[in-house]
Structure 1
Amino acid sequence: MTKQGKPCPAKPLVGVVCDMEIIGPHPFHVAGHKYVNAIVNGSNCTPVLIPALGDLQQLEQLIHTLDGILLTGGYSMVNPEHYQGETPDPETKLDNERDNTTLPLVTMALDAGVPILGICRGFQEMNVALGGTLIQKIHENGQYIEHREDKNQSLHEQYDSAHAIELNPDGQLQTLFNNTSIDVNSLHTQGVKELAPGLISEAVAPDGLIEAFSVQQSKAFALAVQWHPEWKFHNNVYSRKLFSAFGQACQHRQQVKNNHG
């Protein structure tokens, strides 16, 4: 309620995907606070957690209700069976429940014109969902710089700027950021091998690895980034611009829905 006693205007609803994590003996659906906080305070939207159930009927209902989708980062990797048909590395942590939720969710959101923002694992999920492939271990490839965080460092140091990225001069991010390059953090083991059809590279690392892409001819905002803009987003002008733009797209989606009853 406002100070005058009137109801506050409803904010756009953004679905935040969850991981399936075992905590103690029980499975939990979890999403990091930093993502939820960025949606609340960076995008000015209301977060709604999407459990990793892989229930297509539930997802169809959510798509008609939500004004945006945030694909979060995570500690697991997309199962390579979804893009290369290979046996997963035994050392790789998987989350099949999340895969079964997010991969169909991406195509549903794009078909329905629901704004979507992918971050780190979410970036990789979007590429796989649309037909792209991933490099499973960048550090073993031999042609790329180190993109993983140093886990011996403090959390602040791990999320500090790691390298610059060059923005596509004809891309959406270059227009949004009004710059040709920016510095980003780097905390990922996997990356894009082949970009899916219909995706446009928005930024590359110094070694040529794709760091961001957009969906060509999408009905609404559809961007994904390999870095972590949600980390202390309020201290980074580019992170603020990204979450603000996503929030505005979600608000537009909400208005369109309301106008159509």
Structure 2
Amino acid sequence: MTIPIVLISTDVREADGYRWHATPQTYLDAVREGAGVIPLGLPNFGDGVDLDGLLDRVDGVVMTGSRSNVHPSNYGKAPSPANEPYDPDRDRTSIDLVRGALAEGLPVLSICRGMQELNVALGGTLATEIQELPGRMDHRAPPSDAQEARFAIRHSVAVRPGGLLHGIVKSARIDVNSLHRQAIDKLAPGLRVEATAADGTIEAVSGGNPNAFLLGVQWHPEYWFRTDAASAAILAAFGVAVREYLARRAGRPGEVIATD
């Protein structure tokens, strides 16, 4: 039986004298265990990769979060040192990856920076350093070297009734973590708001194509998928969408596709 494969975005980092294209294991574990599919990291080669050909051979895409922010030049604004760090190599690859995946109708799950990339890829804009804006909460991670403290559940979000996310988590309100300085400003055409924080920050979005799974969340379900019901449900729903896509692509829509 065929096990689905999904592309997962990576960051570019300098360490130990090398230039790494990598992603944290928390995402890999969540995709493999929580969604039941195999993650395949995509190096950030920009237009040096035949994305169309590559997307023909995979069954879904996960856009990961990152400490870096989307460079403002990608949505028509000027950069600021206060908004660093940036990862321009990731931008050059990930934005085209999102567009290509949506054009192919692949299931897409976008997390934190990944949701921001999704919005930018479709023509939206971002607000930077939102903790400095009037009336906004501080959505940054608490200062700590302990990951469990940084990723701790911190606030609730209101889930749009009848939306994609509502159907997944089966609740009008869920509690989430928060580790970001950027957020959606102008919502991209074709995206719908699925959840908001108390200060109005857009916390989740979906796409308008009912036949293609597209969900973006501003928080990090990958960190708590083993213990948090909503996080587990999001990963599981993505896994179901990926297996259904693979079955349709193989011309066997009724077939049960193996999980890892």
Q: TM-score, normalised by structure 2?
A: 0.93
| 1:166/1:182 contact within 8 Å kept | yes
Q: 2:49 & 2:140 partners in 1: Cα distance?
A: 37
SS at structure 1 position matched to 2:56:
helix
Q: Spell out the pairing of 1:64-79 with structure 2 (5 A cutoff).
A: 64-79=56-71
Q: Give the Cα separation in 2 of the matches to 1:149 and 1:90.
A: 16
What is the match of residue 152 of structure 2?
160
1:259 aligns with 2:251: yes
Offset at residue 49 of structure 1 (A): 0.8
1:225 aligned to which of 204, 217, 223: 217
Aligned to 1:35: 27
- The answer for the alignment partner of 1:144 in structure 2 is 136
SS of match in other structure, 1:82: helix
Distance change >3 Å, CA 56–CA 200, structure 1 → 2: farther
| Structure 1 position 184, deviation (Å) | 0.3
Within the candidate set 92, 116, 126, 2:118 is matched to 126
Deviation at 1:153, TM superposition (A): 6.2
Q: Structure 2 counterpart of 1:63, which letter? A: L
TM-score (norm 1): 0.93
Whether the 8 Å CA contact 1:79–1:88 is kept in 2: the answer is: no
Aligned position for 1:98: 90
* Deviation at residue 106 of structure 1 after TM alignment: 0.9
Distance 1:91 1:147 in 2: 14
Q: Secondary structure at the match of 1:22?
A: strand
Query: In the alignment, is the contact (CA less than 8 A) between 1:17 and 1:51 conserved in 2?
Result: yes
- 5+ residue gaps, structure 1, are 1-8
Contact 2:45 2:93 in 1 (8 A): yes
- Aligned equivalent of 1:115: 107
Corresponding letter in the other structure for 1:215: G
1:54 matched to 2:46? The reply is yes
Provide closer, same or farther for how the CA distance between residues 218 and 125 of structure 1 changes in structure 2, counting only shifts above 3 A: farther
Q: For residue 91 of structure 1, report the CA deviation from its aligned partner.
A: 5.3
RMSD: 1.4
Q: Residue 115 of structure 1 contacts residue 220 of structure 1 at CA under 8 Å; is this kept in 2?
A: yes
Equivalent residues, number: 252
Q: 1:56 to 1:187 in 2, by over 3 A?
A: same
Residues 24, 218 of structure 1: CA spacing in aligned structure 2 closer, same or farther, 3 A cutoff?
farther
Q: Runs in 1 of length 4+ with deviation above 6 angstroms?
A: none
Whether the aligned pair in 1 keeps the contact of 2:8 and 2:61 (CA below 8 Å) is yes
State the Cα distance separating 1:24 from its structure 2 match: 2.6
Amino acid at match of 1:133: T
Tell me, in whole angstroms, the C-alpha distance in 2 between the residues paired with 1:50 and 1:255.
Answer: 23
| Deviations, residues 121-153 of structure 1 (Å, cap 9, x unaligned) | 001000000011111111111220110011236
CA distance in 2, matches of 1:85, 1:167: 30
Deviates more, 1:153-162 or 1:207-216: 153-162
